[in-house]
Amino acid sequence: MAHQISWMNPPSVLHLKLEGTVKQQDYIEISRSLIDSLNQGSERIALVIDITNTRTIPFPNEDVRALQTFAYHPYLKWIIIIGENKLIRLMLMLTLNLSKVNLSTFNTYEQVESYLEVLKL
């Protein structure tokens, strides 16, 4: 599994790109890296998760949810999932559904950019 974390619009829009097969142990490194990035951002951050090239992710059980510590960061206000694979989108949303952030899904980057404009980010 490969992942990349970068700022789409610093310091308020963070981008996580997931590719290939995501394993449960990958979430430890991803969460750690995201927390480091979130600590450097503003107090209103949207995280865009790109699953366009993701093949599989772990089933959303309690162990997987416990590894998503970034989802409880106080600066994180929105998680935006982008990708057309409805099963992966659903599994990711079920994994993150206990966090207090707003979850949204879109098919294209253009839709995400329009949404970010509405949010004024």
Catalogue all structural domains in the chain, each as residue range(s) with its CATH number.
2-119 (3.40.50.10600)
Confirm if 96 and 79 have CB atoms less than 8 A apart.
yes
pLDDT per residue as tens digits for the range 26-58: 999 999 999 999 999 999 999 999 999 999 999
User: Residue 68 and residue 32: Cα distance in Å, rounded?
Assistant: 9
Q: Is the peptide bond before 10 cis (omega within 30 degrees of 0)?
A: no
The pTM assigned to this predicted structure is: 0.94
Q: Where are the extended beta strands (E) located within the chain?
A: 2-9, 13-21, 45-56, 76-82, 102-106
pLDDT value of residue 1: 66
Tell me the residue type at 69.
T
| CA gap 39, 36 in Å, rounded | 5
